[in-house]
Amino acid sequence: MPDADAPTIDEEVLAEMMAATGDDIGFVGELLDTYLADTPAQLDAMAAAVDADDAAALVRPAHTVKSSSASMGAMRLSQLARDLEMAGRSGALGPGDRVSMNAARSEWPPAVEALKAWIERASDT
């Protein structure tokens, strides 16, 4: 499980992305929009795999959420997805994986809110 005291998003990751793109807020905004648009379907695929007790089907969407969330600074969600990816790679899912999936679902709305607030603040500067 991720560190409950960690911030919903790591703004340093986003600041590094801004610097890497030459402070191109438009491009960073497009990346963020893509992440916000694509992640719900990945979370749905993860939940379907957990519900079906299909470890193999869990690996790809969990890996995608892990990586894309880390890239966007949503580190708690990334860690939950990492845990689920590892469970999927183990070949067997257990009750704790359902708890992790529920936690990932719960982590998504605050991550969306925090990322939208960040991009709004970054756009105003």
Q: What is the pLDDT of residues 39-85, one digit of tens each?
A: 999 999 999 999 999 999 999 999 999 999 999 999 999 999 999 99
Contact 8, 103 (CB under 8 A): no
Q: What is the pLDDT of residues 3-40, one digit of tens each?
A: 666 778 999 999 999 999 999 999 999 999 999 999 99
Distance of alpha carbon 3 from alpha carbon 35, whole angstroms: 22
Residue with tokens 């790591």: 10
Residue 1: DSSP 8-state? -
pLDDT at residue 62 in the model: 98
Distance of alpha carbon 46 from alpha carbon 35, whole angstroms: 16
* pLDDT category of residue 1 using cuts at 50, 70 and 90: low
How much of the chain is in helix, strand and coil states, percent to nearest 5?
A: 80, 0, 20
pLDDT at residue 2 in the model: 59
Nearest to 111 by CA among 14, 15, 17, 44: 14
Tokens in use for 94?
A: 């257990």
Q: What is the pLDDT of residues 77-108, one digit of tens each?
A: 999 999 999 999 999 999 999 999 999 999 99
